[in-house]
Structure formats: structure tokens, C-alpha cells
Amino acid sequence: MSVLKITDLSIALPQGADRGFAVQQCSYEIAAGEILCVVGESGSGKSMTANALMGLLPEGVSVAGGTAYFGGKDILTVSEAEQRALRGDRIAMIFQEPMTALNPLMRIGDQIAEVFEAHKRHRPAERRQKALELIREVQLPDPEKIVRAYPFQLSGGQRQRAMIAMALALEPELLIADEPTTALDVTTQAQILKLILDLRERRGMAVMFITHDFGVVAEIADRVIVMRYGEIVERGSAVEVLENPQHDYTKRLLAAIPSGLVPASTEVAKAPALEIRNLKKTYRIGGGLFRDARVVQAINDVSLTIARGEVLGLVGESGSGKSTLGRAVVRLVTPESGEIIVSGTDMAALGEAELRAVRYKVQMVFQDPYASLNPRHRVMRALTDGPIAKGVAKEKARERARALMETVGLGADAVERYPHEFSGGQRQRIGIARALAMDPELIIADEAVSALDVSIQAQVLDLLRDLRRRFDLSILFITHDLRVAAQLCDRIAVMQKGKLVEIGPVSEVFLNPQHSYTQTLLAAVPGGGWGKAAQ
Amino acid sequence: MAIAVAIFSRLLKAAITLLAIAILNFFLVHAAPGDPATVLAGEAGAADPQMIADLKARFGLDQPFYIQLARYVGNIMTLDLGYSFRQGQPVLDLIMERLPATLILTLTAFWISLLAGVALGVAASARVGKFTDTLITGAALLFYATPLYWAALMAVLVFSVQLGWLPGFGYETVGSGYGGLARAWDILKHLILPALTLGLFFMAVYMRMTRASMLEVAQQDFVKTAKAKGLAPSIIRRRHILRNALLPVVTLAGLQAGQLVGGAVLTETVFAWPGIGRLMFESLAARDYNTILGVFLVSAAMVIVFNIITDLVYRLIDPRIGQKA
Amino acid sequence: QQDGGRLDLIVQPEPPGLMLGLVQNGPTQMVAGQIYEGLLRYNQDLEPQPSLAKEWEISDDGMTYTFKLQEGVKWHDGEPFSAADVIFTTKFLQDNHARFRGAFSHVESVEAPDDNTIVIHMKEPYGPFINAFEAGSMPIVPKHIYEGTDYATNEMNNTPIGTGPYTFVEWEKGSFIHLKKNPDYYLDGLPHIDDLYYRVVPDAASRAVAFETGEVDVLPGGAIENWDVARLTKMDNVCSTSEGWEFFAPHAWMWLNNREGPTSNKLFRKAVMYALDREFVKDVVWNGFGKVPTGPVSSKTNFYTDDVPQYPHDPEKAKELLKEMGYDGTPVRLLPLPYGETWQRWAEAVKQNLEEVGISVDIDSADVAGWNEKTANWDYDMAFTYLYQYGDPALGVARNYIESQIQKGSPWNNVEGYVNPEVDAMWEAAAVEPDNAKRQDMYTEIQQKIVEDVPVAWLLEIEFPTIYRCEVKNLITTGIGLNDGLRDAWIEQ
Amino acid sequence: MTFWKRFITNRGALFGLAILIAVLLLALLAPLLFPRGPWAMVQRPFLVPFSTDGLPLGTDTLGRDVLAGLVYGARVSLLVGLVSTVMALLIGVPLGALAGFYGKWVDEAAMRFTEFFQTIPNFALAIVLVAILEPSLTSITIAIAIVSWPPVARLVRAEVMSVTRREYVDAARLAGLSNMHILVRQVLPNTVSPIIVMASLMVATAILLESSLSFLGLGDPNIMSWGFQIGAARTVIRSAWWLSFFPGAAIVLTVLALNLIGEGLNDALNPHLSRKGRS
Ligand SMILES: Nc1ncnc2c1ncn2[C@@H]1O[C@H](COP(=O)(O)OP(=O)(O)OP(=O)(O)O)[C@@H](O)[C@H]1O
Ligand SMILES: Nc1ncnc2c1ncn2[C@@H]1O[C@H](COP(=O)(O)OP(=O)(O)OP(=O)(O)O)[C@@H](O)[C@H]1O
Ligand SMILES: [Mg+2]
Ligand SMILES: [Mg+2]
């Protein structure tokens, strides 16, 4: 018995968009109590489908054809008023960004109670009570307090739970979840996924779950459809699709996923490229004449070494101090104590001018491929500014820039283009080229692949592996994605709340974690079981 | 508690700023050519050097500059704004006499412009690209571009002189003997034209700001959430969009409310409104140092007070502020 | 004659204070002239009339002045007025009143033989002395309030006490001053009007509107710009008069700096006189009011003569003179009087006139304080001004042309720096000459000499029409006009 | 779409640009059109507009050609507007940039300084400054610049702060570039669009300010400006409405044009923000 039946759905994009149709000729159905995962690359039309079902398409985007039967009616053609009556009542939706999806100026309880108000359920006094019950149901701590709290007082995971509470308020028959966990860290993600599974059990609702993470798919999906460029390229049960993909694209997607396979640890060369000793960094936030500042120990007495030619993975959940450590090494953050020794010099002790002279030794590849290149400078300038400042002759620097562009696989001629003319993955390669242009001894890659699609992620990882081999580079690879870390690194360091809790060869850390925190972290990796099963 | 502490620290900072401003103003005002003695002597139509010397001694202008400055600073530290020799009255009294008129005018203008501006901005944003929107934005642009004093002149010409509906100038009917409600009504009638002309410009400002802000907030994720709940558009607009969109408007309004106090010089001049803007302008012409300095200080204090009020309002609207710490 | 009613007048600008003994500027005189009184008033022929003094006598040698005071006069607070107040006043004004100080420099002593008599003994005969007793020149102040206090900061300055026909009620700063009828006034049946409201309206156009809409009944001279005068006088039931300024006879001219620059050359100054189209200014800028002057003395003032060299508008002549002098085109600065649009237009017209004959002019700008500062310190080439004549050349004219009156720091004397010892001697002699016929001869000669030297460029005998509703009767009865006129005024109901 | 294409598809902006160009042309050609200058008394005073050949807008209180005054007034308005804006930018941009870039005490000091100027009401401060310096084209321009820079400084500071947090600035630091180099070559160029938009609006505000000062009698008496014309005509507004109407309309039009251009620039420079807002 299908709750929703979509037939030949097409969604037209406005003129000037990257293609004519966001979604083309899609048909599928969802049965009651079923979780359907919709996967696919970024921009494949996943969100548009969801928005169309909710009647929330952005301006300029419109349904071009097809039907979507829900409860006996084509919800694509019913009037706006009817659609509004369905929304929140029989179909509910959760969005990707828990941080911005709640009204910052309204109390959580009120925002939940609003759903009842919208559909004229219960008396105003009861709504509060109902909201409280819902908050309990999604297992938010201290419900009495949460009802009165404002969104900013909640963590991302808590907000997402509040969103779910809202979506469940009127016991919808269909829940649409558009990447509800993408913005959360692994441990929180695991909790939310569990919550959704529980609720499905108890309420028996149908769930359309949009994601691009196959780990998540493995964890929760009953059935899967794979989308690409607005079309469905593959469909089937979770097991079928994951284990026996038919379409080329699905195969490539799956192949590109960093497997949970743990490579044997490689032997590491002897001479250290970087030595960190007793590093400390404390942030003081807020505070003023009459207020105590909030103190955050972002790095709390961390010591570690990276050998020449080694890739050290630094993992840990959000806020554990990974970025701060990386930035301290390149002195974008000045630590208050400790030493950072790069080929004999203590970077932490240098003054502004001395620092400028040795800075080239450690370079960084940044997380955001869009924000890390100056939009007004051609690639050539991005690649030559540094070397020229360092004293390399202009002509030589230009030549080198061309050569590096070849190395990262973009072609020498690309130096004359502007950043916006490249895709995200290509920009990330430019970022790598820029780091290499300085002839560094050590590269810090801070979430260098997190913003990228799985397929592109794989390319960049390959590139890094290749470069490391060719230039004997040391890399400090910061990530929160354990799978990625496992693929590339020789050793893994685990951070929690500013402390280094565990460090060791990949195989040891993964297969035999010592610290309890490492264990939780590993357990939270979505689709953990599936990854190992593939082995 | 946090609020009390915040206000206290703000006040302390404000006091320091005020003192610095007072000193700067002192230099500024004394840099102007001429002095109150010569002006006063000049107006008498006859003066001899003795008279001017007498006046200077009386005003303390025969003292070295640094002593005058030290005295002035000493005075304001004890909250004494000094004495207006020209008007023969303590400056504070003079200002207090004039302040109510200014406050009535500027606050009325302020509220009219704020309420109307926000209302129009909401109306325009609700019908983006439609005729209503074009009409409202067009009118706002026009008000925005019209010199205030010119609008004032034209308003007097039309409503007071041609149509005779409203008094063209003044604060109330002089010597009418009205009391209570009759007086209030009388003042209100006098208030309409100046408050409207003063308010037009700001109304345009608020309208544009509200419209832009509404449109921007309407793009945000939580609005989509609200839609997904099945809320009616009018509720979404009021409860979700407007409240968030008001934040920048409040900031701007706070800035301008402060400025309004001293910024009504033109309106007060054209409409013969006995406020402190005019007092400032006239005292400047007469080089009545203490009075100008007093007006400046009071209006600077007003700016600061309004800033603090703005912050408080902001805290009321936005729970995020002040609670993080 | 009818009693009662209320009169709204304009006062412009707002006076700095109402204590006439301390502040003597125009607006103060206009309001405080109803509160305070002098010993005498002057009719429109500038003949003395009784005020606080009901009779007076000048000895034949001009050395003794005896005044009999009115009886039963009370101060507004009920205290009796007596000769002691007059004696006190002479001391009070010595400290605070520049013009009084000048006139009294000729006085040997003052005494009060009894409560109702004042006798003044002179050092030398001084013809113009009899013209120095009106309220603005010598306001009688209350001894019981001021004796032994610091005059300037006396609290009572804000609630002035005089003997005049109206008493002070209220002053709402920036808005109006309210006076009311003095019920105990010593002249029976006077005054007639119950309430006076002096309204402060800073903008000239608004003042015109105020009159039009009936809010204001009297527009004193200068209250509105000239362009509105013609329009308002055309309205029904509106009267206007140019009377009431005879005592002051405001005389406008342009100081030409005699010390330096092109203006130090007499040929240049003459060229300026020929270049100016003074009739045009009178007709266009002043709307036909006033009279083109022939020289330093106003035609309304005693001892005037028109038998002097004439300077008609003659650009060709001006050009010739400039050529003769060898003017090299050095630009000259022109400082207008910051008293409103009329004066600004006037400066523009003058500039245009001068540029037409090849003199390049930069208009300087300054507000009242800046104007005072610049003229008092001789930092100008040409500067507008106008001064009162106070009925006698010795009082109002001489100060602008004699060498001893070259005093840096004050803009009310010989600012142009004119030095002519011959003329100086004649001024001195004329002032103490008791015989009026002889004085006339002497002043005629002075006028001829000065006009020949052109130390300044005389522009206009200013006429300030007073505009009022025709119901208001007897508004102006003296040569001092509104400043002491409301004693006799009444409103037809 | 290129910037220019986006700009010219905006009808309002195009209209504004057309007006501004017209005003500019008139201002430039003034000496050719009216060789006798704006002050020449050419005819009887108070000639009604459209009644006399050669004097389409009539004459003023002294018989001067109102049209000539308007055309010459355009020069002053535009000059004061442009120069004061440039001056305000010269003060505000470096101050805001340093404050935003270096943060800490530099920021604190700069912002206190800025706050200082914002605490005195704008127009009052302008009046006092002009009175002190004595009215002249230079002093008026300076006064307007002094009261207009604080918002620039705040805007630039905010922009620089946000740009400085971008990763490409960190990258430039790692490349060993000097602070000045980073600020001037990397950061500032990325803040220009909002500054340009603000500048176009500042020119408009400056024109209004100049006219207000002139109206209060604080204009340069040697120079014909629109505010001067209105101020001078105020006293005859009853008998000769056109004397204040035309210059008033000229101000409204010019300021309107600049505002439209400013909005057009805003839309064209920030295509994301505007997509919805534009009609
Ligand atoms: N407001 C819009 N106007 C025009 N085109 C849009 C708009 N929003 C999205 N698109 C386009 O529609 C297509 C489908 O977008 P959609 O958001 O559905 O992708 P998605 O599969 O959800 O990707 P992601 O994983 O990044 O969220 C894309 O090509 C996108 O560029
Ligand atoms: N500039 C800063 N000022 C104040 N606190 C900061 C600053 N940068 C980071 N922190 C705090 O320091 C702690 C560590 O932050 P850091 O960015 O190093 O974490 P992370 O491990 O990189 O997290 P993520 O995975 O989310 O990037 C966090 O609590 C963060 O809030
Ligand atoms: Mg999406
Ligand atoms: Mg990080």
C-alpha cells in the first residue's frame, strides 16, 4: 500500500540555470512504514523533488509535468490552501541545516506549538503540553527547560531533534528528511539516525530520506533510488543497490567511497619534519570590564611528531581543537606556550618578520575551496605571489606555476583563468598547487576534502597520495571523517576537547582502539557494519 | 543582572566619551571667529573698548585659554553646564525650557516615520514587483531625495497659506489661555506639519530598510520551516519574517533617534519651533559658548541614551544578545 | 479711543535680555521700551517731549539742565520712584552703557535738590545733550533692586522692573514675550491695550505668513524682507508707515578701508561711488523704500545739507577714474552685513556693479560674530554697515569720521580709518557750539569736505516700513517709533 | 552576466544615469551656455517663467536668469558632492581598513574615534564646522566630508573584517606576504562593491547637505548653488514660487538619479542579494 506515488515528475528550472530541468521524468513510490533513501551527487535534483512535494519550490522553479498522488489526490495540482493543510499535518519535512532552520527569536516550545496552531488542533493551553511531550519523545534532555529555550541555546544535534519533534507533531503519514544529518558530527549523526529508525518503528510512517552518504544509506534504508542530473539511474532494495550496483554511475559512486578497509601501516622514515611539544592555546570569548570571559582550552598540552614523508591523520569530533592545532603549526594562531619545531626552528617563538622568512616551510590546504582563493586574482597570481615574496624570480615562479598546474592535473593554460571558472574539486587542486608552489616541507590539510563530493574527494585523495610519494612530503591531514583518514594516513591521532587522547598506526587505532573516546567515535561511523562486510 | 551590569559599564564608557566630546567641542566652538562680547556689544549698536573689556571680564574671556578650559571641564564634571551670559540664565535651565518642544517634535516625527515606514516596507515587500511595491518604493525614493527644508516650505505654502488648515509655524497659540486637553489639541495642530516634514525623510529610510530586510529574511531557512508547518502566509510574515527583519531597522532607528534631537535645526527654523536645534543655531551665531556647548553635550548625551535604549530593545527582541556570556 | 484688546508684534531677533540698562540692542529696546522709561521722548521732529520728566529747562549758557519729575510714579513692584533712582541710574549706566558714557563725558555733576528734581551741571556746553534722554539712551533703572548687587547676575534681570506703561509677565524663550498693561501707570487712562505679545519667529517668510494668517498684528520695520512688504500692504485693512525711525535715521554705507589696498586711494573710492547704481538697489532690493543719501548725515537728522558733491551712477566716469589711478585689477573683498536676504542681495548687486566697471570682487562671508571680528580688526576692504544717528550729527555721525575714534576692537566707530585733522577740529567745535545757526554752517562744511574725500560709500537712508492692521491706532507717535509707542496706542474694536 | 549588462537592464538605474549625465553635461557646458555667468542682472526682476524669450525659467529677485543659476548651481552641487565624498572615503577607508584588519586595540581606538564623531548630530556638526571655517566652497566641502566619513569607516571595517576571515587571506599570510600587501592587494579590492554603492549614495547626501547649509545662509556667497537659490527665494516664496521650485526640483532629480544609480550598482554588484528585491 503506497503512501506516495510519483509518476513522471519533471521540474523546470528558470532560464540561465545550469540545465533545463532539475528533475526529469521521475517515477517512484513509497510504502507505509518504509524508508526510501534518495542518493546522488550534489545538484542532482534531490532537494527539488522534496520541495515540489511540499509545494515549496523556490521562485522561478516550477513543476513541468507529472503527478504525485498522496491520499488519493495529486498534491502537485491541488490549491495552495489545500497544500497548506497537508503541510505539517500529513506530510512533514526536516531540513539539512539545523543551525538556521529554526526561528532564532522564538522559543522552541512555541515553535513546536505553532504546528498545532497552524492546523487548529487543541486549545492554546494544551498545545504547550503537547509540545513538551514531543520534546520528551525525541529524547531532548531536560524538556521543561528546552521548551523555554531559544534555538541558540541548543547544540546542532539538539536543534535537529527539535525540528524532528516539530515534524512529528501531527503524526504525519510521510516524513521527508533532506540531508538531516549532513551538518552534524558523527556521534550526533548516529543518535539522530537511531531516533528516526525508532520513530518509524513506533509510528509506522513512511520516510523519504535524502542523503549523499552511502554510510547512512547502509544504516537505515529499506529501498534506494540513485539520482543523477535529475534522472533516476538506479533503484532497488538497499542490499541490491549497495552490493550489486547495475548502473555505471552507481558503481563509480560506490567505488569512490573511502572504504572502511584499514591498510597495513607503512613504515615511516626517521627524521621528524615537525615536532610539537606541550602546545597550549586558550581562547577567551566575550567578557568585558565586568563580565567573566568564557575560557576554551582549544589545545591543551599537546605533543606529537610527524616524520618526513609521513601522513598523520588528526581526527576528533567538531570543536575538539583540530583546526586550532593545524593553524597553530602555521602560526595563523599564536599559541601561548609550547614549541613547534620545523626543521630545527621553533616557529612558535618567531617574531613577525622572521616568521615571514620561514613561513614557506609549512603550507596549508584549506577546507573551503570557494573561500580559499581570492576571487579577483587569476590563478597565476595565487600561485606566484608567495614564491615572488620569498625571492624567486618572477619568470621562474611563472614557469613553476604552469608546471604545478600540470602536476595537479589541470593543465598549464588554466593559470590564466579566474577561480570562479573552476569547479570545487578543481579549486581544491589549485589550493594544493598553491601550497606546493612554496616548496614546503609540511602540508597541513584542514578538512581539505570534506566539502567535496565523494567522487571528487577520491580524486583529490589520489592526488595527495601521489604527491606525497613524488615529493616526499609530510602531511598533517585533519578530518572528522574516519573513513577518509583510514585511507590516506600512516598514523592517526585522536583529539577530544583539546587533548590528544590516542595516537598510533592506523591499523592499531582502528582495530584496537585503546581510549574509550576513540571507541565511541568508531562506533558512530554510519554504516560501520556495511563497510566491514564489504571486506 | 547581566543587563544591569551591561548598562552600568555602558554608562561609564559613555561618561568618558561625553567628557572627551565636551573637550573637543570646547576647542571647536572657541575656534570660531569672534566672541560673545563683541557680538553683544555689536548688537547694542554702539560700544567702546571699555564696554567690550567689561563684557569679556564678565564672561571670563579675559582668562588664558587653558584656564577657561580647565574651568569648563571642572564645571561639567560636577554636572554644571555653566551660565549663559547672553541670556542671563543657567544653560541647563535654558536647555530644559527648550528640550520638551524638541522632544515632542522629534519623537512624534520618529514614531510616525518608524511606524509608517515599517508598515509601508512590509506592504511593499509583500507585493514585490507589483504595482503597490513600485508605487511605495517610488514615493520613498522621492521623499529620500527631497531636501527637508524645501518640503517644509512647500507644506507651509499649501496647507497653511493656501488651504488654511493648519498653523504654519509656532508651538502653540500664544496667549490662548488654553489648558489641559484644549492645549494638547492646540499643540497637536501645530505639530502636524513640522513632524510630517521631518518624518518624511526618515520614513523613506525605514521603508527601504524594512523592505530589503523583509525580502532578505524571507529567503532564510527558518521561513521555509515555517511554511513546511503549514502556517498561513500572514502569520509567517508577521511572526517569523517581520520580527527578524526588524532587527536592523531597530539599529538604524536607534542611531537616528539620537541624531533627531540635535538634527531638527532646519525644521525648527522653518516652523519657528522653539526647540534646542534652533537654540544651538542661534547661540552659535551669538557665540554664546556655554549654551552651544551645553546643547552639544545634551544632544550627545541623547545619542548615547538612545544607543543604550536601542540595545535594550534589541535585547528584548533578540534573546541571543547578552545571554551568551 | 478704546481700551482693551491684545496686540501681537514681531520681535526679531529674540533679544538677549530685557534689562535695558544692561543690554541695549535693537530688539531689547523695542520690548523693554514699554517697561522702562527715559526722562524724555522725542517727537517726529526730534523735539523733546515729557516722559518721566514732566518739565525741563536748559540754562542760557547751556551749562545747567534742570528736570522736574512726574509725581506719583511707582515701580512695577510698587516701590515709589524718585530722583534718587535717576541719580543711581547715572552711575549704573556709566558702567554698562557705552553711548551713555559718551554723552555723560561732558557732565560735571548730577544732583537731586529734592525728590522730584534733577539738576545736571555740564563741563562745557554740549548741544546734542538734550537728545540723550530717551529710554534707549538713558533708561531709568530701579535703585532699590540694583544698588549694591552685581548688576550682571542679578536675578531680577529676568523679571525686569520699570516704570513704563506695561509690565513684564512671561518670556517663553524661543517663542514669545508677554507684557501686560500697568494698572498703576501715572498717566491717567494710559495705556489702552491689555496685553502685548512679542512673538519670536526666526524665519522671515514665516513672519510674513504670521501676519497674513492674522496671528500677528504688527510687523516692525525690518521684520520681513522687503519683497513681502508690497504684497502685504496690498492686503485689505493693512496699513503701513515709514514713520517712527526719525530719531534713529538708520544710515547705510560701505566702509572702504582707507589704510591699505586699492581702497586707500581716493580715486578708487570715487570710482566706487560712480560705479554703484544706488537707485537700482533702492528700487529693486529695497522695493522703493528709503532714499539715496548725499553724504554722512541723514536727511532726517538735524543739520543735514544736500549742498555737497554728487555721485550719480556713471560707470564710464568710474572707469576713467580707475584708469587714472592705474588700478591693476587687484581683487577686493566685500563683507556684507549678515542680517538676512535683503543685505545679501544688496552685496550681490554691489559686486555686480563693481565688476561691470572692472573691479573684481570677492564676497567674504561671515555671521554676526565673524562680521564684528573682521570689521573691528579692520580685516576687510569693503564692508557693509548701517548705524543710527540719534538725532544729532555729534551723537551718531561724528564717531565714524574723527581720528580719535579710530579704535581697533570695536565696529562702531571710525572703522574705515579716515584721518583728516581739519575735519576733526570742525567736529569738535561744532559739538560745543551753543548757537544752532552756527552749528548748521559748521556741519554743512563738514559734510562737503567729507563727501569730497569719500572715506566710505554712502548707500542708503534706510526706511523700515512698519506694517500693521488698520484697527491699531496711534501706533507710532514719536520719532522713536515702536520702541516707546505703545503707551498711546489703542485698538478699534 | 557581466556587471554592465546587469546594470543597464535595470530601468531605474538607466534613468538615473541619463539624468546624471544630463546634469553633468549642463554643468560642464555652463560657461558656453551662459557666458555672462549666473550673477548678471539681465532683465527686470520677478519675470514669470515661460513669459519671456531667452529666459525660460524667469528671473529672480535681482533680475538674474534662473536657468543660468540652475546650470551653474549644478557645478557646485556635483563638485561638492564628489569632492566631499572622495575626501570622506580618503578618511574612512584607511581608518576602517586598519581597524578591521588589525583588530584589537587599533580597532578599539579607531572605533572610539569614529563613535566620537557620530555622537555629535551630523548636521549640527556641519553647521559648526562651516561657521568656524567661515563659509566657502572649501570649508563646506571639508565640513561635509568630516561629517560623512564615519559610516564609511564602519562599513569598511565590517567588510574588511569579514574578508580578512576568508581563507585566501590566511593563504596569503602563509605565502609570506606582508600585512600591507595583504590588506591593499588582497583584502581591499574585495570590499570595493559595497563601498562604491555607499559612495554613490554619499554624493546624493552631500548634495542635500550642501543645499541645507546654503539654505541656512552658510553657503559660499561667491558661488551660485541650488541651496542658495532656494534660500534666497524663500522670502519670496509667496509671490514667486518658481524661484524655489526649480532649484528644489533640480536637487530632487539629481539626488534621485544618484540614488537610482546607487541601487542599480548595488543590484549589479551583488547579484545574489538583489535577485528578489528587484522589480
Ligand atoms: N533557486 C534556484 N534557482 C535556479 N536553479 C536552482 C535553484 N535551486 C537549485 N537549482 C538548481 O537545481 C538543480 C537541482 O538542485 P537540488 O537542490 O535539488 O540538488 P540536490 O540534489 O539537493 O543537491 P545537494 O546535494 O547539493 O543538496 C541544480 O542544478 C541547482 O543548480
Ligand atoms: N577564534 C576563536 N575564538 C574563540 N574560540 C575559538 C576560536 N577558534 C576556535 N575556537 C574554539 O576552540 C575550540 C576548538 O575549535 P577548532 O576549530 O580547533 O575545532 P575543530 O576540531 O577544528 O572542529 P571542526 O571539526 O568543527 O572544524 C572550539 O570550542 C571553538 O569554539
Ligand atoms: Mg539539497
Ligand atoms: Mg576545524
Look-up: residue for cell 589711478? C325
Alpha helix (H) ranges present in C46-179?
Answer: 83-96, 98-104, 143-146
Q: Which domains does chain A have, with CATH numbers?
A: 34-46+80-256 (3.40.50.300), 272-524 (3.40.50.300)
Q: What are the chain A neighbours of D170 within 8 Å (beta carbons)? A: 327, 332, 364, 366, 372
Q: Residue D85 pLDDT > 90, yes or no?
A: yes
Q: Most A CBs within 10 Å: which of B229, B242, B247, as the mutation test of the A interface?
A: B229
Do A418 and A456 meet the contact criterion of CB atoms below 8 Å apart? no
pLDDT reported for residue A297: 85
Q: What are the chain B neighbours of C13 within 8 Å (beta carbons)? A: 282
Cis peptide before C191 (omega within 30 of 0): yes
Say which DSSP state B236 is in: I
What is the number of the ligand closest to the CA of A17?
Answer: 1
Give the tens place of pLDDT for each residue, C380-389.
999 998 888 8
Give the tens place of pLDDT for each residue, A62-71.
888 888 888 8
Percentage, residues of chain D above pLDDT 70: 96
Do A322 and A446 meet the contact criterion of CB atoms below 8 Å apart? yes
Å from CA of A32 to ligand 3 middle: 24
pLDDT reported for residue A533: 37
pLDDT reported for residue A534: 38
Q: What are phi and psi of A104, to 5 degrees?
A: -65, -15
Cα–Cα distance, A143 to A108 (Å, whole number): 10
Q: What are phi and psi of C273, to 5 degrees?
A: -60, -45
Residue D246 burial (C-beta neighbours within 10 Å; 0-12, 13-18, 19+): buried
pLDDT reported for residue A23: 87
Contacts of A99 (CB under 8 A, 6+ apart): A156, A159, A183
Q: Is the CB of A17 under 6 A from ligand 1?
A: yes
Alpha helix (H) ranges present in C380-435?
Answer: 393-396, 421-432
D238 touching chain C per CB within 8 A: yes
Alpha carbon of residue D271 to chain centroid:
24
Residue (of C178, C162, C164, C202) closest to C9 by Cα position? C178
Instruction: Give C134 to chain B, closest Cα distance, Å.
Output: 15
Ligand 2 pocket test: which of A182, A322, A444, A497 has the largest number of ligand atoms within 8 Å of its C-beta? A322
pLDDT reported for residue C166: 93
Q: Residue D152 pLDDT > 70, yes or no?
A: yes
Interface A:C, ≥3 CB–CB pairs < 8 Å = no
Look-up: residue for cell 540692542? C25
pLDDT reported for residue C342: 84
Residue (of D14, D93, D9, D16) closest to D274 by Cα position? D9
* Confidence class for position A285, pLDDT limits 50, 70, 90: low
R_g of chain C computed on alpha carbons: 23
Residue C335 burial (C-beta neighbours within 10 Å; 0-12, 13-18, 19+): buried
Computed over every residue of chain A, the mean pLDDT equals 82
Percentage, residues of chain A above pLDDT 70: 92
Alpha helix (H) ranges present in chain D?
Answer: 3-8, 11-33, 66-102, 104-119, 122-133, 137-164, 167-174, 179-181, 192-215, 226-234, 241-269, 271-277
Ligand 2 pocket test: which of A99, A299, A323 has the largest number of ligand atoms within 8 Å of its C-beta? A323
- DSSP state letters, A424-448: HHHHHHHHHHHHHHT--SEEEEEST
pLDDT reported for residue D270: 66
Cα–Cα distance, B178 to B185 (Å, whole number): 9
Q: Residue A339 pLDDT > 90, yes or no?
A: no
Give the tens place of pLDDT for each residue, A117-169.
888 888 888 888 888 888 888 778 888 888 888 888 887 778 888 888 888 88
C-beta neighbour count of C71 within 10 angstroms: 12
Å from CA of A231 to ligand 3 middle: 15
| Among the ranges given (A489-503, A517-531, D138-152), the one the predictor scored with the smallest mean pLDDT | A517-531
* Confidence class for position D84, pLDDT limits 50, 70, 90: very high
Give domain limits for chain B.
Answer: 15-80, 99-317
Higher pLDDT, A333 or D277: A333
What is the number of the ligand closest to the CA of A183?
Answer: 2
Cα–Cα distance, A518 to A501 (Å, whole number): 8
Cα–Cα distance, B303 to D121 (Å, whole number): 8
Q: β-strands C107-111, C40-42: how paired?
A: unpaired
* Confidence class for position A262, pLDDT limits 50, 70, 90: low
C177 grid coordinates: 514675550
Q: Report CB contact under 8 Å: B49, C376.
A: no
Averaged pLDDT for residues A191-217: 84
Cα distances from A35 to residues A94, A210, A211, B69, D35, in angstroms, run 14, 10, 12, 80, 85
* Confidence class for position D94, pLDDT limits 50, 70, 90: very high
Q: What are phi and psi of C428, to 5 degrees?
A: -60, -45
Q: What are the chain A neighbours of B231 within 8 Å (beta carbons)? A: 84, 88, 114, 117-118
C365 touching chain D per CB within 8 A: yes
Q: Which amino acid is at A448?
A: A
Cα–Cα distance, A203 to B264 (Å, whole number): 65
CATH class of B99-317: mainly alpha
Q: Most B CBs within 10 Å: which of C216, C364, C412, as the mutation test of the B interface?
A: C412
Residues paired with residue A206 on neighbouring β-strands, in sequence order? A174
Cα–Cα distance, C134 to B299 (Å, whole number): 43
Q: Which amino acid is at B256?
A: Q
Å from CA of A447 to ligand 3 middle: 21
Alpha carbon of residue A218 to chain centroid:
17
Please count the residue pairs, one from chain A and one from chain B, whose beta carbons lie less than 8 angstroms apart: 94
Averaged pLDDT for residues A422-440: 85
Averaged pLDDT for residues D62-69: 88
For atom 25 of ligand 2, which residue has the closest CA? Answer: A318
Look-up: residue for cell 488651504? B163
For atom 19 of ligand 1, which residue has the closest CA? Answer: A43
Averaged pLDDT for residues D139-151: 91
Residue (of C222, C223, C221) closest to C210 by Cα position? C223
Q: Which of A439-443, B85-89, D138-142 has the highest mean pLDDT?
A: D138-142
Cα–Cα distance, C98 to B52 (Å, whole number): 9
B4 touching chain A per CB within 8 A: no
| Among the ranges given (A254-263, C323-332, C351-360, D12-21), the one the predictor scored with the smallest mean pLDDT | A254-263
Å from CA of A185 to ligand 2 middle: 14
* Confidence class for position D273, pLDDT limits 50, 70, 90: very low
pLDDT reported for residue D279: 31
Residues paired with residue A63 on neighbouring β-strands, in sequence order? A11
Q: Is the CB of A23 under 6 A from ligand 1?
A: no
Q: Is the CB of A246 under 6 A from ligand 2?
A: no
Say which DSSP state A270 is in: S
pLDDT reported for residue B2: 63
Cα–Cα distance, B68 to B72 (Å, whole number): 6
Do B259 and B220 meet the contact criterion of CB atoms below 8 Å apart? no
Residues paired with residue A10 on neighbouring β-strands, in sequence order? A65
Residue (of A233, A273, A97) closest to A177 by Cα position? A97
Q: What are phi and psi of A139, to 5 degrees?
A: 60, 40
Do C352 and C234 meet the contact criterion of CB atoms below 8 Å apart? no
Atom of ligand 1 nearest to the CA of A40: 21
Which residues of chain C fall below pLDDT 50?
none
D126 touching chain B per CB within 8 A: no
Q: β-strands C195-199, C6-10: how paired?
A: parallel
pLDDT reported for residue B175: 67
Å from CA of A46 to ligand 3 middle: 6
A351 grid coordinates: 617574531
Give domain limits for chain D.
Answer: 3-30+68-269
C-beta neighbour count of B181 within 10 angstroms: 8
Cα–Cα distance, C213 to C195 (Å, whole number): 20
Q: Which strand ranges, in their side-by-side order, compose the sheet holding C53-58? A: C53-58, C64-69, C117-122, C107-111
Enumerate neighbours of D (3 or more CB pairs within 8 A). Answer: A, B, C
pLDDT reported for residue B59: 79
Residue (of C150, C449, C490) closest to C308 by Cα position? C449
Q: Which amino acid is at A13?
A: L
Which architecture characterizes domain D3-30+68-269 according to CATH?
Orthogonal Bundle (1.10)
For atom 1 of ligand 1, which residue has the closest CA? Answer: A58
Atom of ligand 2 nearest to the CA of A326: 18
Classified as helix, coil or strand, D239 is: coil
Q: Report CB contact under 8 Å: B20, D227.
A: no
Higher pLDDT, C225 or A255: C225
C209 grid coordinates: 505668513
Atom of ligand 2 nearest to the CA of A324: 18
pLDDT in tens, chain B (325 residues): 566 777 787 788 888 888 888 888 888 888 888 788 877 777 766 667 777 787 788 777 888 888 888 888 888 888 788 888 777 788 888 888 888 888 889 889 989 999 999 999 999 988 888 888 889 988 888 888 888 888 888 888 888 878 888 887 778 777 667 777 888 888 888 888 888 888 888 888 899 889 988 888 888 888 888 888 888 888 898 889 998 888 888 888 887 777 776 668 888 888 888 888 888 888 888 888 888 888 888 888 888 888 888 877 877 777 776 544 3
